[in-house]
Amino acid sequence: MAIQRSEKRSLRRARVRRTVRGTENRPRLSVYRSLQHIYVQVISDVSGRTLAAASTQSGEALKNKRNLDAAKAVGKAIAAKCLASGIQSVIFDRNGFLYHGRVKALADAAREAGLKF
């Protein structure tokens, strides 16, 4: 029996999360991409807290939420929130999604806004 698409993503996610751990000094930037929206959180795995979050559903939402421009806007927004709270560097967690398209656009926009990966 073939493995379902969601199960494949879960396997990739678990493989990535074995090595990626966020600390207070360098938290984990976790990305979730749905069909309609894109979400990003900056998480400290030591304390189990979300330090910053942004998505296409929050204040920086655009009219067309499914395109690369929306992902770039979310990347810039999370970088601004991180820099405002004193976070300079993060560990990127693609959360089992391929580093392509909207996920890549979000990461590139966050880098351009001054966040270090």
Q: Which domains does the chain carry?
A: 5-112 (3.30.420.100)
Least confident span in 7-11, 57-61, 101-105, 106-110:
57-61
Q: Is the pLDDT of residue 60 over 60?
A: no
Query: Looking at beta carbons, which pairs linking 2-9 to residues 24 or more positions away fall under 8 Å?
Result: 9/96, 9/97
Closest alpha carbon to 8 in 99, 92, 98, 101: 98
18 vs 98 pLDDT, higher one: 98
Write down the residue that tokens 């351009």 correspond to.
Answer: 112
